[in-house]
Structure 1
Amino acid sequence: MSRQLNMDTVRQNFWKEEYLREKMLRCEWHHKYGSLGRYHYLSTRKLDVPEKRYLFPITTNFTYGWQLGPPVKQELVFCKMCRIESFFRKNGAFALLDPRDLAL
Protein backbone atom coordinates (compact mmCIF):
# COMPACT_ATOMS: atom_id res chain seq x y z
CA MET A 1 0.00 0.00 0.00
CA SER A 2 1.44 3.35 -0.94
CA ARG A 3 1.16 6.39 1.28
CA GLN A 4 -0.30 9.65 0.20
CA LEU A 5 2.16 12.49 0.45
CA ASN A 6 -0.34 15.27 1.06
CA MET A 7 -2.67 14.05 3.81
CA ASP A 8 -4.87 16.47 5.68
CA THR A 9 -5.40 16.36 9.44
CA VAL A 10 -8.56 14.28 9.23
CA ARG A 11 -6.81 11.63 7.16
CA GLN A 12 -3.81 11.60 9.50
CA ASN A 13 -6.08 11.16 12.52
CA PHE A 14 -7.89 8.32 10.76
CA TRP A 15 -4.65 6.44 10.11
CA LYS A 16 -3.47 7.09 13.66
CA GLU A 17 -6.68 5.65 15.12
CA GLU A 18 -6.57 2.73 12.71
CA TYR A 19 -2.99 1.93 13.72
CA LEU A 20 -3.82 2.10 17.43
CA ARG A 21 -6.91 -0.07 16.96
CA GLU A 22 -4.88 -2.72 15.13
CA LYS A 23 -2.20 -2.58 17.82
CA MET A 24 -4.75 -3.08 20.60
CA LEU A 25 -6.39 -5.93 18.71
CA ARG A 26 -3.08 -7.75 18.37
CA CYS A 27 -2.25 -7.20 22.05
CA GLU A 28 -5.65 -8.55 23.12
CA TRP A 29 -5.17 -11.55 20.83
CA HIS A 30 -1.78 -12.28 22.43
CA HIS A 31 -3.20 -12.00 25.96
CA LYS A 32 -6.17 -14.19 25.10
CA TYR A 33 -4.41 -16.99 23.22
CA GLY A 34 -0.84 -16.69 24.47
CA SER A 35 1.93 -18.08 22.33
CA LEU A 36 -0.36 -20.66 20.70
CA GLY A 37 -2.27 -17.95 18.87
CA ARG A 38 -3.68 -18.98 15.52
CA TYR A 39 -3.01 -22.69 16.02
CA HIS A 40 -5.11 -22.74 19.19
CA TYR A 41 -7.90 -20.76 17.54
CA LEU A 42 -8.06 -23.04 14.51
CA SER A 43 -7.86 -26.22 16.56
CA THR A 44 -10.84 -25.15 18.69
CA ARG A 45 -12.77 -23.98 15.63
CA LYS A 46 -12.42 -27.27 13.78
CA LEU A 47 -14.09 -29.14 16.65
CA ASP A 48 -17.49 -27.87 15.47
CA VAL A 49 -18.98 -29.56 12.43
CA PRO A 50 -19.51 -27.27 9.41
CA GLU A 51 -23.29 -27.59 9.71
CA LYS A 52 -23.13 -25.80 13.07
CA ARG A 53 -20.62 -23.19 11.92
CA TYR A 54 -22.44 -22.17 8.74
CA LEU A 55 -26.13 -21.80 7.91
CA PHE A 56 -25.65 -22.67 4.24
CA PRO A 57 -22.80 -24.05 2.12
CA ILE A 58 -20.15 -21.39 1.47
CA THR A 59 -18.17 -23.15 -1.26
CA THR A 60 -19.04 -25.74 -3.87
CA ASN A 61 -17.09 -28.33 -1.89
CA PHE A 62 -19.75 -28.11 0.82
CA THR A 63 -22.61 -29.18 -1.46
CA TYR A 64 -21.51 -32.80 -1.57
CA GLY A 65 -22.39 -34.38 1.74
CA TRP A 66 -23.90 -31.25 3.27
CA GLN A 67 -26.00 -32.02 6.36
CA LEU A 68 -26.01 -35.77 5.87
CA GLY A 69 -25.37 -36.44 9.52
CA PRO A 70 -23.17 -39.16 10.97
CA PRO A 71 -22.25 -42.03 8.64
CA VAL A 72 -24.33 -45.16 8.97
CA LYS A 73 -22.33 -48.27 9.75
CA GLN A 74 -23.15 -50.97 7.24
CA GLU A 75 -22.76 -54.64 7.81
CA LEU A 76 -20.17 -56.45 5.73
CA VAL A 77 -22.01 -58.66 3.26
CA PHE A 78 -20.35 -61.98 2.55
CA CYS A 79 -22.32 -62.78 -0.58
CA LYS A 80 -20.58 -61.43 -3.71
CA MET A 81 -23.79 -60.91 -5.69
CA CYS A 82 -25.33 -58.92 -2.83
CA ARG A 83 -22.36 -56.55 -2.89
CA ILE A 84 -22.55 -56.13 -6.67
CA GLU A 85 -26.32 -55.51 -6.63
CA SER A 86 -26.05 -52.91 -3.91
CA PHE A 87 -23.09 -51.16 -5.58
CA PHE A 88 -24.44 -50.61 -9.09
CA ARG A 89 -27.46 -48.47 -9.89
CA LYS A 90 -30.22 -50.63 -11.34
CA ASN A 91 -31.91 -47.99 -13.50
CA GLY A 92 -28.81 -46.67 -15.22
CA ALA A 93 -26.98 -43.39 -14.88
CA PHE A 94 -29.96 -41.17 -15.67
CA ALA A 95 -32.40 -42.57 -13.13
CA LEU A 96 -34.37 -40.16 -10.98
CA LEU A 97 -32.40 -39.12 -7.95
CA ASP A 98 -33.56 -38.62 -4.43
CA PRO A 99 -34.04 -34.84 -3.82
CA ARG A 100 -31.93 -35.09 -0.67
CA ASP A 101 -28.95 -36.22 -2.78
CA LEU A 102 -29.04 -33.19 -5.08
CA ALA A 103 -26.91 -30.10 -4.58
CA LEU A 104 -28.62 -26.92 -3.42
Structure 2
Amino acid sequence: MAAEGVWDLSISTPIGRIEAVVELAWQAGVLTGAAHGAGENVPLSDITLDGDRLTWKQAITKPLRLNLAFAVTVDGDTLTGTSKAGRLPASKVTGRRRTVPAAVDH
Protein backbone atom coordinates (compact mmCIF):
# COMPACT_ATOMS: atom_id res chain seq x y z
CA MET A 1 0.00 0.00 0.00
CA ALA A 2 2.96 2.33 0.50
CA ALA A 3 2.97 3.52 -3.11
CA GLU A 4 -0.38 2.37 -4.49
CA GLY A 5 -2.93 4.93 -5.57
CA VAL A 6 -3.43 7.98 -7.71
CA TRP A 7 -0.84 10.69 -7.19
CA ASP A 8 -1.08 14.35 -8.24
CA LEU A 9 2.47 15.41 -9.08
CA SER A 10 3.99 18.85 -9.48
CA ILE A 11 7.34 18.99 -11.28
CA SER A 12 9.39 22.21 -11.15
CA THR A 13 11.29 22.30 -14.46
CA PRO A 14 13.45 24.97 -16.10
CA ILE A 15 10.52 25.70 -18.46
CA GLY A 16 7.97 26.01 -15.65
CA ARG A 17 5.82 23.88 -13.39
CA ILE A 18 4.29 20.74 -14.93
CA GLU A 19 1.31 19.01 -13.36
CA ALA A 20 0.89 15.28 -13.93
CA VAL A 21 -1.01 12.33 -12.52
CA VAL A 22 0.63 8.98 -11.77
CA GLU A 23 -1.41 5.84 -11.07
CA LEU A 24 0.29 2.91 -9.32
CA ALA A 25 -1.19 -0.51 -8.55
CA TRP A 26 -0.02 -4.00 -7.65
CA GLN A 27 -0.88 -6.59 -10.32
CA ALA A 28 0.17 -10.22 -9.77
CA GLY A 29 2.82 -9.12 -7.26
CA VAL A 30 4.34 -6.51 -9.59
CA LEU A 31 4.00 -2.73 -9.18
CA THR A 32 2.63 -1.26 -12.41
CA GLY A 33 1.73 2.26 -13.39
CA ALA A 34 0.95 4.96 -15.90
CA ALA A 35 1.37 8.72 -16.05
CA HIS A 36 -1.06 11.27 -17.48
CA GLY A 37 -0.24 14.87 -18.34
CA ALA A 38 0.07 17.32 -21.25
CA GLY A 39 -2.46 15.26 -23.20
CA GLU A 40 -0.35 12.10 -22.93
CA ASN A 41 -0.92 8.74 -21.25
CA VAL A 42 2.36 6.84 -20.91
CA PRO A 43 3.28 3.59 -19.16
CA LEU A 44 5.86 3.58 -16.40
CA SER A 45 8.80 1.17 -16.62
CA ASP A 46 11.41 -0.19 -14.20
CA ILE A 47 9.18 0.60 -11.20
CA THR A 48 10.98 -0.25 -7.96
CA LEU A 49 9.83 0.21 -4.37
CA ASP A 50 12.58 -0.28 -1.80
CA GLY A 51 11.26 0.63 1.64
CA ASP A 52 9.96 4.20 1.18
CA ARG A 53 12.09 4.89 -1.94
CA LEU A 54 10.17 4.67 -5.22
CA THR A 55 11.82 4.89 -8.64
CA TRP A 56 10.50 4.62 -12.19
CA LYS A 57 11.21 5.61 -15.77
CA GLN A 58 8.93 7.01 -18.45
CA ALA A 59 9.18 8.54 -21.90
CA ILE A 60 7.31 11.72 -22.85
CA THR A 61 6.91 13.70 -26.07
CA LYS A 62 5.40 16.93 -24.67
CA PRO A 63 6.61 19.59 -24.14
CA LEU A 64 9.81 17.89 -25.40
CA ARG A 65 10.75 14.32 -26.30
CA LEU A 66 12.53 13.13 -23.16
CA ASN A 67 13.25 9.97 -21.20
CA LEU A 68 12.67 10.73 -17.53
CA ALA A 69 13.96 8.91 -14.46
CA PHE A 70 12.09 9.59 -11.19
CA ALA A 71 13.44 8.96 -7.68
CA VAL A 72 11.09 9.89 -4.85
CA THR A 73 10.52 9.14 -1.18
CA VAL A 74 6.99 8.18 -0.13
CA ASP A 75 5.87 9.45 3.29
CA GLY A 76 2.24 8.54 3.94
CA ASP A 77 0.18 10.46 1.39
CA THR A 78 3.02 12.71 0.17
CA LEU A 79 6.08 12.15 -1.95
CA THR A 80 9.15 14.25 -2.67
CA GLY A 81 12.15 13.74 -4.88
CA THR A 82 13.52 14.43 -8.32
CA SER A 83 12.98 13.77 -12.00
CA LYS A 84 16.02 13.65 -14.27
CA ALA A 85 16.14 13.86 -18.07
CA GLY A 86 19.51 12.84 -19.44
CA ARG A 87 22.14 15.51 -18.85
CA LEU A 88 19.61 18.18 -17.91
CA PRO A 89 19.53 19.34 -14.27
CA ALA A 90 17.25 17.37 -11.97
CA SER A 91 13.76 18.83 -11.43
CA LYS A 92 12.10 18.89 -8.02
CA VAL A 93 9.03 16.63 -7.73
CA THR A 94 6.32 16.80 -5.08
CA GLY A 95 3.13 14.79 -4.94
CA ARG A 96 0.02 14.08 -2.95
CA ARG A 97 -2.00 10.87 -3.00
CA ARG A 98 -5.66 11.38 -3.84
CA THR A 99 -7.98 10.27 -1.08
CA VAL A 100 -11.06 8.27 -1.96
CA PRO A 101 -14.21 9.92 -0.60
CA ALA A 102 -16.05 7.84 1.96
CA ALA A 103 -19.10 5.98 0.67
CA VAL A 104 -22.39 7.59 1.58
CA ASP A 105 -25.14 5.35 2.98
CA HIS A 106 -28.57 6.02 1.51
Whose helix proportion is higher, 1 or 2? Answer: 1
Larger Rg: 1
Give the TM-score taking structure 1 as reference length.
0.19
Select the structure with the greater relative contact order (CA < 8 A; seq sep ≥ 6): 2
Give the TM-score taking structure 2 as reference length.
0.19
